[in-house]
Amino acid sequence: MIGAYPRIRLDGAVVVVTGAARGIGLATAKRFAQRGARVAIGDLDGEAAAAAADFLGRGIRAYPVNVAQLDSYKMFLDEIEDDLGEIDILVNNAGIMPIGPFLVESAEVTRAVFDVNVAAHMHAARLVAPRMIARGRGHIVNVTSAAGKLHSAGLASYTASKHAATAFSRSLREELRPHGVSVTAVLPSAIKTQLVDGIPLGVLSIGVLSPNVVARRIVSTVRTRPPLASAPMGLTPLFTAASLIPERMWLLGRRLVNADRTMGPIDRTARAEYDARIAANITPEVTT
């Protein structure tokens, strides 16, 4: 037992990772597989997921999934259980991050942000938690963001969605705790993935993490089962300070370290591939 939670042995465990065709998800899938887990990865880009699984080897299976759609998520999980057996660990990693002033962001993009970054976590909970409760054990990891405890101009919808996802994770954790099922929100800072393409980070690039750092943190939560896990670990004091520092001091500090780059000129050419991935998540609104 780990506190209120039954221990999960990674060797032979069935692990599901979404948004795993690249970046944090891919690194996480690799690390779980190295520990002997039977890993299934999912991504909206099914071909990229299949290529990633082939690249990693180790028997990793790939499936196409639109995490924003409940029916697609259910089919995804059902196929995995048919192929690999009952799911022990689910890592909700899929997410999108549009950049720019909120007033020029379309309503369709905003809706997609909440569909992928928040509703998908809720879909996952509705689908996988009852299966875990029936067995009296399981672990759900929701990869949110440091933005789930902070805020930033140029990332209004993204930070709002990550606050929601983090709060949902904490509330869900309390509901599932009596049943032996744990929920951890993992809050990474800036990661060297397509999420930061086109952003003139300047000196801030020194603090950009490798996806492998976050992957290690995610895998470690299976052993420790914390409610929150930041990456890097030193972020936690910043989360506390952010709620206590007067606004003027906060804004001054952001200017001193050039943290407002998300409101500056974005290299849209460098960011084109990632913007196309965001567009793929937009479902046109049907009017009658």
φ, ψ for residue 124, nearest 5 deg = -60, -45
pLDDT at 262: 57
User: Which tokens is 280 given?
Assistant: 């793929």
The whole-number pLDDT of residue 205 equals 47
Q: Tell me: pLDDT of 4 over 90.
A: no
pLDDT at 204 over 70: no
Check pLDDT > 50 for residue 125.
yes
Which residue in 5, 63, 73, 158 is the catalytic one?
A: 158
Q: pLDDT higher for 190 or 212?
A: 212
pLDDT score at 149 = 84
Judge contact between 63 and 16, C-beta under 8 A. Answer: no
Q: Which distant-in-sequence residues (6+ apart) come within 8 Å of 81 by Cβ?
A: 14, 87, 131
Question: Does residue 168 carry a pLDDT above 50?
Answer: yes
In this predicted model, what pLDDT tens digit does every residue of 260-283 receive, in sequence order?
655 566 767 777 777 788 888 886
Instruction: Kindly report the CATH number that applies to the domain delimited by 14-279.
Output: 3.40.50.720
Q: Which residue has the higher pLDDT, 239 or 13?
A: 13
Active site residue 5: no
Which pLDDT does position 259 carry in this prediction? Answer: 60
The amino acid sitting at 9 is: R
CB distance 34 to 4 below 8 Å: no
The packing angle between helices 23-34 and 46-56, to 10°, is 40
User: What mean pLDDT comes out for the span 194-200?
Assistant: 59
- Residue of 184, 145, 183, 140 lying closest to 161 (CA atoms): 145
Is pLDDT of 287 > 50? no
169 contacts 125 by C-beta, under 8 angstroms: no
Sketch the domain layout of the chain as residue ranges: 14-279
**What values do phi and psi take at 208, rounded to 5?**
-75, 125
Q: Which pLDDT score is estimated for 154?
A: 85
The predicted pLDDT at position 286 comes to 41
Cα distances from 207 to residues 132, 189, 257, 270, in angstroms, run 37, 8, 11, 20
pLDDT greater than 90 at residue 246:
no
* The pair of three-digit structure tokens given for residue 83, joined into one six-digit string: 């192929």
pLDDT digits (tens, 9 = 90+) for 40-90: 999 999 999 999 999 999 899 999 999 999 999 999 999 999 999 999 999
